[in-house]
């Protein structure tokens, strides 16, 4: 435990510190508590691209300047001048320099192996081993460790709070009358000319609504996930997906979702669609008006959702932490029935 560790002159720890969260705070606090001075290594952008190229949703990782600024802001508030921040381009950082005289390294269960490699190399260079001290992971509200990965893929916020409550996956949610106005205004920007829609390689694209999906197909913008109900202004208009411009080769998930509700099977369908590595259509028997909700709360950060806004154009939502928090708070006020 912290209280039984001998105070050391210099401690060292390192990390990516992407989307600086509660776990990072505890990690740094621990390092400060056992050090007279703490050296914090923050991985460079080059390190991430070179050694973590397979990481999911790589493009949403913050740049080095942003990550360093988050660490510095926290340390300036809590360390009282006892720290130094260095950019690291590999797992070793400054630890193999003969003039580097730290004697303790703080790790998590994810970085212990890196510390062991550092010590192996230090021994080869006749440098003293660093004492390795491991901090247990900080758990989110769901009992799973908080991580930048979970934040990037849209599961939790930086305090470890899930955006989706488990009860929502078991019970039908009903939109109260007093919240209907919140869903009448558009989230995100309005695009009046579909020709101005810009899509970049790697973007996760979702279209909601029959007309929006039809327009996207017309402009050869192929959404990864499309949500349709064969209706326009709540009136039946289409009878099959080819009338909307789909090829017919797409995977189709059929879901019953009555008007003004969010059924458990809709949440499940969104989750399944995200797991498929193919174009997917969620065909709703009922109405798709509220399907933007489970999409926003389920999607990774920086995903793009497009849906029709009557008499205005197409609304574009760039999924970020703010919109997730806002919609999660609104849904928490829905009424629930079911088991």
175 belongs to a structural domain: yes
The mean pLDDT of 316-338, rounded to a whole number, is 92
Asked whether residue 192 is assigned to any structural domain, the reply reads: yes
Backbone angles phi, psi at 249, to 5 degrees: -90, -5
| Same domain, yes or no: 171 and 308 | yes
User: What average pLDDT does range 295-314 have in this prediction?
Assistant: 93
pLDDT digits (tens, 9 = 90+) for 121-162: 999 999 999 999 999 999 999 999 999 999 999 999 999 999
> Which of 127, 152, 177 represents a domain boundary (last residue)?
152
pLDDT band per the 50, 70, 90 thresholds, residue 55? very low
Let me know if residue 157 belongs to a domain.
Answer: no
Kindly give the pairing relationship between strand 35-43 and strand 83-88: parallel
Percent of the chain with pLDDT over 90: 78
Q: Say if strands 335-338 and 171-174 run parallel, antiparallel, or are unpaired.
A: antiparallel
Based on the domain organization, do 145 and 64 belong to the same domain? yes
Judge whether 209 and 231 are in contact, CB under 8 Å.
Answer: no
Is 211's pLDDT higher than 70? Answer: yes
Q: How many domains does the chain have?
A: 2
Contact in structure between 253 and 227 (CB atoms under 8 Å):
no
The verdict on residue 158 lying in a domain is: no
Residues 208, 308, single domain; the answer is: yes
Q: 10-29: b or e for each residue (b if 16 or more CB lie within 10 Å)? A: bbbbbbbbbbbbbbbbbbbe
What mean pLDDT is reported for the chain? 91
pTM: 0.90
pLDDT of residue 200: 82
* pLDDT confidence bin for 3, thresholds 50/70/90: very low
Interval 25-42: pLDDT, tens:
999 999 999 999 999 999
When pLDDT is cut at 50, 70 and 90, the band that residue 56 belongs to is very low
Task: Decide which of 152, 176, 200 is a domain's last residue.
Answer: 152
**What stretches of the chain show up as alpha helix (H) in DSSP?**
22-33, 45-51, 64-78, 112-124, 148-152, 210-218, 264-275, 292-298, 321-331
Residue 74 lies in domain: 2-152
Specify the long-range contacts of residues 3-9, CB closer than 8 Å, at least 24 apart.
5/34, 5/133, 7/34, 7/35, 7/36, 8/34, 8/35, 8/36, 8/102, 8/103, 8/104, 8/131, 9/35, 9/36, 9/37, 9/101, 9/102, 9/103
84 plus 220 within the same structural domain: no
Answer yes or no: are the C-beta atoms of 302 and 320 closer than 8 Å.
yes
Site of tokens 């997917």: 280
What value does the mean pLDDT take over residues 314-326?
96
β-bridge partners, 235: 232
Do residues 136 and 256 share a domain?
no
In three-state secondary structure terms, 163 is coil
Q: Verify that 203 and 247 share a domain, yes or no.
A: yes
Question: Same structural domain for residues 141 and 186?
Answer: no
């Amino acid at each position: 435990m912290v209280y039984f560790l001998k105070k050391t002159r210099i401690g060292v720890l390192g990390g990516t510190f992407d989307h600086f969260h509660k776990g990072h705070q505890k990690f740094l606090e621990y390092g400060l508590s056992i050090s007279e001075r703490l050296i914090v290594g923050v991985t460079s952008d080059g390190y991430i691209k070179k050694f973590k190229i397979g990481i999911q949703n790589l493009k949403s990782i913050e740049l080095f300047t942003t990550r360093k600024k988050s660490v510095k802001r926290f340390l300036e508030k809590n360390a009282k001048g006892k720290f130094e921040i260095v950019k690291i381009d590999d797992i070793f950082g400054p630890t193999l320099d003969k003039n580097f005289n730290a004697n303790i390294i703080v790790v998590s269960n994810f970085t212990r192996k890196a510390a062991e490699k550092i010590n192996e190399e230090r021994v080869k260079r006749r440098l003293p081993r660093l004492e390795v001290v491991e901090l247990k992971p900080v758990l989110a509200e769901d009992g799973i460790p908080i991580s930048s990965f979970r934040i990037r893929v849209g599961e939790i916020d930086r305090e470890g709070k899930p955006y989706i409550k488990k009860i929502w996956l078991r019970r039908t949610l009903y939109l109260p009358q007093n919240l209907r106005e919140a869903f009448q205004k558009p989230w995100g920007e309005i695009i009046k000319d579909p020709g101005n829609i810009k899509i970049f390689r790697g973007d996760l694209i979702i279209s909601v609504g029959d007309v929006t999906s039809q327009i996207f197909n017309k402009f050869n913008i192929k959404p990864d996930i499309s949500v349709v109900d064969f209706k326009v202004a709540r009136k039946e208009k289409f009878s099959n997906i080819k009338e909307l411009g789909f090829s017919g080769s797409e995977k189709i998930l059929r879901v019953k979702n009555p008007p003004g509700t969010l059924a458990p099977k809709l949440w499940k369908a969104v989750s399944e669609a995200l797991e498929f590595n193919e174009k997917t259509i969620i065909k709703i028997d009922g109405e798709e008006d509220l399907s933007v909700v489970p999409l926003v709360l389920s999607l990774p950060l920086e995903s793009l959702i497009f849906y029709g806004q009557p008499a205005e154009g197409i609304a574009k939502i760039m999924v970020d932490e703010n919109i997730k928090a806002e919609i999660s708070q609104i849904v928490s006020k829905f009424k629930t029935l079911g088991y």
